[in-house]
Amino acid sequence: MPSTQSARLLTLALVVFVSLSPALARADGPRVVVLPFEGAEAVSTRLVVYEALEAEGVELTSLAAAGEAARAARVRGLSRRRVGRVLAIADADAALQGRTTVARDRVLVRLVLSTASGRVLYDREVAFEDARSAARALREALSHGASEPEPPPRAAASSGAQNDTPPWERGADPAPSTRAGASSTPQLPWLVAGIGASARMRDAAFEADDGTRFHRAWYPTIDLAAELRPFHTARGLERGLFVRAAFHHSVGLRSVGPNDTVVDTAFWGLGGDAGLLVTVAEGWDLGFAVGLGVDAFELADTPATLVPTAVYGSLRPGLRLRTQLLDELVVLDIGASYRWIFDRGPIGAAFGRQGESHGFELGASLGGSVDVGFSWALSAELVGVVHQLHGEADVVPASDGRDLGLRFGARVGLALR
């Protein structure tokens, strides 16, 4: 019997210990959830701050758990409307939020530490290179906030003396100086460049005097693309300036005409544009671009060639919409442009030297990048040219025609941000 009672007591003690172990583990100090930051360099800055707090001995939830909690509570940036819900989901006592901005050649980060009640324990803007040192002030602000009762409203005004120090800096060690003249590491330009492959389709048809002449083919291409933002560290509108360039060339493409005649074929394109993006909402950029480009469909000049070589030179004004779905890790980029065709190449002389040609381009890409390292993109594109032809023709007169192209591609490459 005594042994049975001892076993029961031991079992009860184990149950009580297991039940209280989470609370005992939390007894050392409050737990902080570091929510996803917003702005340029947000991913790397958040990681630096997280590691610095970890080194200071602050208890933290994992970055993955913090991201899931932020998405579940629909909290972005510095919004504190649902911080209490985030803390409940993440089982934490305080939330750290951040927003990065760029001033000249420096990245600044505003750090806000708050509790479920809405009380702000820390709110300060520091330079990126000082983020590690700021962790000490965050830790002390957290310990003071956990041990001291909430101060009454306007308590600082009762002293009768004017205090220019912001309330969130009192009682905590200030972070290192962030004077504009302080030394800092020059920021890299924003550059994303990659190589990839696409599956493309051409569907061209012209209504000529001898009937409909057409050319349809699917073909693979090798693609190169790059985007540069030379002033992305600036403070004004010039921060959104961008320059893009792209090139593609067919691989192993040959066409077979009547009587199994093999026709040498090379399809390629080269284009570039420059434009400006302006932030219209949190994580949303809208802008415009103007560019030039050439698309060539080169076919051998033989009797088997129903549609002669076309070389479309075009001026390309357009619009661009860019939105961050998950910081810069996942970005949706949508574009639409008009193409004013100022040159048609040999196809114009073949079907009609006079007339007009107009085109369009619709495209979207889903991609992303790490601050310094890897970039990726999946893209789709629809391009079209519509012709109205008349006048002298070297081959056969044609009244009108169309030249449509469809592309699906993937690309990987380098990212410097």
Residue 204 has φ and ψ, to the nearest 5°, of -115, 140
Asked if the domains at 2-169 and 190-416 fall in one CATH topology, the answer is no
Say if residue 382's pLDDT is above 50.
yes
Q: What is the pLDDT of residues 180-226, one digit of tens each?
A: 333 334 456 789 999 999 999 999 999 988 889 988 889 999 999 99
Q: What is the pLDDT of residues 239-267, one digit of tens each?
A: 889 999 999 999 987 766 556 666 668 89
Mean pLDDT of 295-318: 88
pLDDT at 1: 46
Say if residue 301's pLDDT is above 90.
no
Q: Where exactly are the structural domains of the chain?
A: 2-169, 190-416
Give the closest residue to 38 by CA, choosing from 5, 59, 67, 62: 67
Mean pLDDT of 319-347: 93
CA dist 304 and 310 (Å) reads 16
The upper half-sphere exposure of residue 75, i.e. CA atoms within 13 Å in the direction of its Cβ, equals: 29
Say if residue 142's pLDDT is above 70.
yes
Q: Which residues contact 239 (CB under 8 A, 6 or more apart)?
A: 102, 229, 231, 232, 233
Q: Would you place residue 104 in the very low, low, confident or very high pLDDT band (cuts 50, 70, 90)?
A: low
pLDDT at 177: 37
Alpha carbon 125 to its chain centroid, in Å, reads: 24
Residues 141, 77 contacting (CB under 8 angstroms): no
Choice between 376 and 122, residue whose per-residue pLDDT is larger: 376
Domain 190-416 has CATH 3.40.50.300: no
Q: Would you place residue 116 in the very low, low, confident or very high pLDDT band (cuts 50, 70, 90)?
A: confident
Domain 2-169 has CATH 3.40.50.700: no
Q: How many residues does the chain have?
A: 417
Say if residue 58's pLDDT is above 90.
no
Choice between 281 and 10, residue whose per-residue pLDDT is larger: 281
Mean pLDDT of the chain: 80
Mean pLDDT of 166-172: 39
Mean pLDDT of 52-75: 83
pLDDT at 151: 47
Q: What whole-number percentage of the chain has pLDDT above 90? A: 33
> Considering only 14-23, 87-96, 263-272, 346-355, which range has the smallest mean pLDDT?
14-23
Say if residue 338's pLDDT is above 80.
yes
Q: What is the pLDDT of residues 359-374, one digit of tens each?
A: 999 999 999 987 668 8
